Structure 1
């Protein structure tokens, strides 16, 4: 009979592939526009989405540490079902805004929780050193699944703009049902009440405040994850700008997702070769160069710059996740991961509306050039401020 914690790893692989079967993602901006949500309103909704995640990120991380990671993941996936139902069968700004707020709560419930459950399962098995490799495999499986979804999604969108969301619904529901089969590695040691909630919150903030490594990783994630997330959210509009036909968006997304899967799968090997300091510098350079080159909006060739971001995203996701897990204790692991994810969404919340305004006032290309300059200034600042942490 399979060890329940070994089964947790297998379930992570299966559920992750199902939960990312969102056929509307490769045409996200176009899907919103077809659902009577103009591009300006789309950027507002995505900004509010990031705000919802930002507001709930730490509280839901604490909830995961107090009520258990399995129960928290069930709540998270229930939110995803509600979101997709709303966008599949309704139109307009307000419905989509409500759906995205629900989705934001779902993301905040699941963001650090899934990773914490995986790391704790490996810890229970005495296999913490395998985390980078297994996390990379998990991310690779997710991206391979997404790659096929992207091709199908673009095709479904060409048949009926609502079809991608409708087809996604049963697959997300299956992922929710499979979550019931997880085994909690370390059941919560505290009762879930307001007193313990506040005590856990204070402990977590104090822990983060005293740990310069976690602070640097959070500020690093703010700009890197923020830029990658924004660029990929607007990718369908960017493809249109660089003259990629809608019929080819699925193929382009497939290639990009496979590149992300490739870099994630090999992230542990690359990180072993480059080590932490060089790995973090390479991520910064790739994101900066790709953002500035996207600003040139070069016809057809511009797709290579999105590919550069997706290659970087696969590597970045695996190693940052591992670095945070390494510095976080089991009792506060989900909360520490949630704090780091909170910084991701601070970046998106601040930058996406500014990007939307720049697109409307100037152009998509100019907006990305402005963003690249901002990234350069920000990265120089945090690298100087945390030079002792980076050196160590």
Structure 2
């Protein structure tokens, strides 16, 4: 066996690391140019601009209303317990910054669009928790009247949270998908955006729980209740919290968006099953079935492992389609297959750049981004 043989090259193949300009793409046929000439610009296409604008305005208005409501709701507590509130805000900011970085990076190939990501977090921080505070009171009254105080006192959170919180977060994911149609075009996009909505919700809820813990301690515990709440809700339960449940529900939104919101029976059933799964996970977390630290750790493990199963399923399918699209684009551009497929990962792109002279790297990196945009566009158009 000849271990020194070179990888087969397409006619006119480029040197390793180099990415030719998409303008050099071959034609697929008379009058039809290869998809490399159609670089997506991220703007809503014809027929989508009005729904996108309406969704964006609706998100902005509801987030503003939610922010004002939450500020009025907790301004008094924040004034009385200013040190505790300041620490809760600081810990929330740290959680938000770290979570934002991690959850954007888990999207394969490239991070989700920044504008859609920020909008998703804003909804989770403001509109969803504000509406949740109102809905919690109403649903708690219904359970108390219909099921009795004793039963509702034990099972109320498990009956309430999956119905109102998951639905409110899901509404935000749908609005983001409509407002930024180029950012949510498939299950993997829905997973990422859903996780960011859940992250924002978790940060706001942590602040609310921290201030409630301060009050329950009689206002004499100082910052200890805030720190304890942070350790419990982020350090212990963080892996199985709102980001995970909303990521599962967001995957359902991505399934529908991939079919232009006109899914067939199989896709619609799959999306509905994912939403029900997210609600079931939330029910498990809030149910009184498992108590104590061992019970909490078990619940966190179930939620996290279920979420990871969904994630790796959609990740594998998406990466396979993107790699196939990159191989096709690379062949049309005269690139080595290994070089074009390597662009599907951040590590691969950095590796290819290292084979290019430093002065040429900015241009090559720009062409890598163009080629990725085209490949992801082709992958998103694939709807089995």
TM range (shorter): 0.3 to 0.5
- TM-score, normalised on structure 2? 0.35
**Rg comparison, structure with higher value:** 2
- TM-score, normalised on structure 1? 0.34
Relative to its length, the structure with more helix (as a share) is 1
